[in-house]
Amino acid sequence: MGRKRKLLGASASCEAQGNCSECVTSDRFSDLPDEVAHHILSLLTFKDLTRVGAVSKRCRQLHLSVPVVDFRSHWHWLGRRENYVHNLRLMSSMERYLLCRGDNRMQRFCMDWNFSLTRRATQDYFRVITWIHNALRCNVEELDLCISGVPSFSLPPFLPQSLRSLSVRLSMVIFKTPSLSIPSNLRYLKLVLVKIEDERFFKWITCCCKCIKQLELVDIQGIRNITIESSSLEYFHGFIQNDILHVNISGEKLEGIDICLWFHSYQETSSNSLKIFAPNLKNLNWNSSNGRYSPNLGKLKSLEKVQLFLDPWVNELDKVLCSICSAKDLIINERTIKAIFKDGSTAVPILDNICNLTVHFTSLNDDLVPAVASLLKGMPNLNFLSMKTTSSLSRDAQTSAGFGIEYWKLQNLAFLHQLKEVTIEYPNNVSNELEFARYILEHAQNLKKMVNLLHFEDTQFEVVARMVSRSKMISTATVVIGFLGCKKRKNL
C-alpha cells in the first residue's frame, strides 16, 4: 500500500513537472496573429530580425514575410578590420535573407550603408544595387536609402508601379537621373545632401512623375537652376543654399510651400530670382538669408497662412505683400519688418484680411516700434495678436524706453475694436512692451484675454502686475501673467 502511494505521488509529480515544462516552453509570440507579429518585427533592425527567424519554424515564416526590413551598416570601436569583417557578415546575411524571402511583398525597405567601411567599394556597390533590385522585385511601396562612400549612385532604370515613396540621402554623392522614358508612380520623393547630375532630373519629375504629391529637396548641390513644374504636386519643401541662382516652382494643385533660401555669404549681384505659380496655394513658409534676389509670387488668392522670415536684401517686398494680401494668418520676424520699412519708408501695406498676427523679435526696441505701428495700421480686422521674443538678453533691449502710451494713441489703430486676444512675451527690458500692453488694455473694448509671459519671475512680475492694476481697462478681459518655460500662471 505504501509502495502504491509512492508511485502515485511520483506520477503526480511527473505530471506537474510536465505541465510546468509546457508553460515554460510555450511560444506566445508564435500564437499572435500575423499582422500583430509583423508589426512587432517591423520595429527591429535587420540583425535582430534574423535572430528571431532562427527561433522556430513559425518565426522563420514571419521574419521572411515581415513588411518592413531595416538594414544598416554598423561601425564599432573595434578597429577597421573588425568593422570590415562584421559588415561583410551582414552583407552575406542580407543576400541569404533576400534569396529565401523570394517574392514576398514588402511594404518598406530601409538601407543605410557606408562604403568607406568596406575594402572593396566597387564590388560591394554592385551587391547593394542587387539588394535594391530584389526589394523592388518584392513590389516594395516605400524605399528609404542612405548611401555614402561612393562617387555616384543611380537607381535601377525601372521603378515598379508599387513604389509610392522614395527617400534618398547621399552625403553629397552624385545622383544620376532615372530614365526619362519610363513613367513612375511615385507619390513622395525626398532628396537630402545630393549632388544632382544635371537639370534632366527636373524634367524627369515633370514628364515621368505624374502622380507625385510631395517633393522635398534638402541641401542639394551641383546645379544652378531649379525648375519644378508638376500638375499633381501638392506640397514642396526646399532647403536651398550656396550657388543656386534661379528657383521656379509651378503647380496648379500646390497647397503648401516651405522654402528656405540660405546663402553663406552676401552676394552683390541681384540676378537671382524666385518665381512661384501656385494659384491654389494655402500655406507659404518662406525663409531667406544673405541673398539679394527678386521674388515673383504671382496672385495667391487662396492663401490662408504665411510665414515670412526674410533677409533685408530681398527686393520688391511691396509686391510680396500684395501677393499675400488674401492670407488670414501671418507670422513675421523683426528682420522682415525692418526690410519692409527700410530707408525710412512709412508706406502702410494693406493687409486687411489678416486676423491672426504673430511677430518674432529680440525686443520691441525704439528702432522697431515705428515699423510695427505702420504694419498694424494696415490690419484693421486683426483679432489675435502675439508678440514673441527670440532672446531674453539682447543689446537692443537697452534702447527700449522711448515710446509711451501717448505715442500709441496717436496711431489711431483701427483693429482695436476687433481685437479679442493678445499674448506678449517680455524680454529683459520691458518698457516699450509694457506701454503697448497698457495701451491695449485701455483702448481695446472687446478684448477677451491678455497673456503676459515673463522671462524673469521676480523682477518682471511686480512691474507687469503694477501696470495692470493701474490701467483703466475698458473691457472685462482676463489678464494672465505666466512664465516662459513654466506652466505656472496667475490671473489678475
Residue 83: what are its φ and ψ, rounded to 5°? -65, -40
**Residue whose entry in the numeric block shows the C-alpha cell 500684395:** 322
What is the residue-level pLDDT of the chain in tens, covering all 492 positions?
A: 454 444 434 444 444 444 544 444 556 888 889 999 999 999 998 888 989 998 888 999 999 999 999 987 655 444 456 666 777 788 888 889 988 988 888 999 999 888 876 667 777 888 888 889 888 888 999 999 998 888 888 888 788 889 999 999 998 888 888 888 888 999 999 999 999 988 899 999 999 999 999 999 999 888 888 999 999 999 999 998 767 778 999 999 999 999 998 765 555 555 678 899 999 999 999 998 766 677 899 889 999 999 999 887 777 888 899 999 999 999 999 999 988 887 666 677 889 999 999 999 988 888 899 999 999 999 999 999 999 987 544 444 445 567 888 999 999 999 999 999 999 998 876 788 889 999 999 999 999 999 999 876 666 788 888 888 888 889 999 999 888 766 556 665
Residue 11: predicted pLDDT = 45
Domain CATH for 362: 3.80.10
CA separation for the pair 296, 276 (Å, rounded): 6
DSSP assignment of 394-418: -GGGGG--S--HHHHHHH--GGGGT
Residues contacting residue 142 through CB under 8 Å, at least 6 positions apart? 107, 108, 109, 163, 164, 165, 166, 167
Question: Rg (Cα) of the chain, in Å, rounded?
Answer: 31
Query: Does 2 map to a domain?
Result: no
Cα→Cα distances 367→270, 329, 385, 405, Å: 27, 25, 20, 17
The answer to whether 313 and 266 have CB atoms below 8 angstroms apart is: yes
Query: Does 132 map to a domain?
Result: no
Residue 148: predicted pLDDT = 85
Q: Quick one: cell of 94?
A: 542580407
CA separation for the pair 286, 327 (Å, rounded): 14
346 by Cβ neighbours in 10 Å (0-12 / 13-18 / 19+) ranks as exposed
CA separation for the pair 439, 369 (Å, rounded): 14
AA letter at 84? Y
Domain count, the chain: 1
Query: Does 28 map to a domain?
Result: no
Query: Does 335 map to a domain?
Result: yes
DSSP assignment of 285-312: EEEEES--EEEE----TT--EEEEE--T
Query: What is the 8-class DSSP label of residue 32?
Result: S
Residue 343: predicted pLDDT = 67
Give the distance from CA 402 to its chain's centroid. 39
The answer to whether 293 and 272 have CB atoms below 8 angstroms apart is: yes
CA separation for the pair 30, 27 (Å, rounded): 6
Residue 13: predicted pLDDT = 47
295 by Cβ neighbours in 10 Å (0-12 / 13-18 / 19+) ranks as buried
Cα→Cα distances 222→120, 241, 245, 329, 485, Å: 27, 11, 12, 36, 43
Query: Does 259 map to a domain?
Result: no
CA separation for the pair 24, 18 (Å, rounded): 10
Residue 259: predicted pLDDT = 94
Residue 280: predicted pLDDT = 96
How do strand 478-483 and strand 486-491 relate by DSSP bridges? antiparallel
Please work out, in degrees rounded to the nearest 5, the angle formed at the alpha carbon of residue 381 by the alpha carbons of 379 and 384.
90
Query: What is the 8-class DSSP label of residue 349?
Result: P
CA separation for the pair 417, 415 (Å, rounded): 6
Query: Does 190 map to a domain?
Result: no
Strand order in the sheet with 246-250: 225-229, 246-250, 272-277, 293-296
CA separation for the pair 399, 108 (Å, rounded): 56
Cα within 13 Å of Cα(331), Cβ side: 12
Alpha-carbon torsion 126, 128, 131, 135, what sign? negative
Cα→Cα distances 288→265, 279, 317, 318, 390, Å: 12, 22, 13, 16, 17
Query: Does 61 map to a domain?
Result: no
Cα→Cα distances 197→154, 158, 177, 255, Å: 10, 19, 7, 29
Cα→Cα distances 141→104, 138, 186, 464, Å: 13, 9, 9, 57
Per the structure, the complete domain to which residue 488 belongs is given by 328-492
Query: Does 302 map to a domain?
Result: no
Residue 246: predicted pLDDT = 87
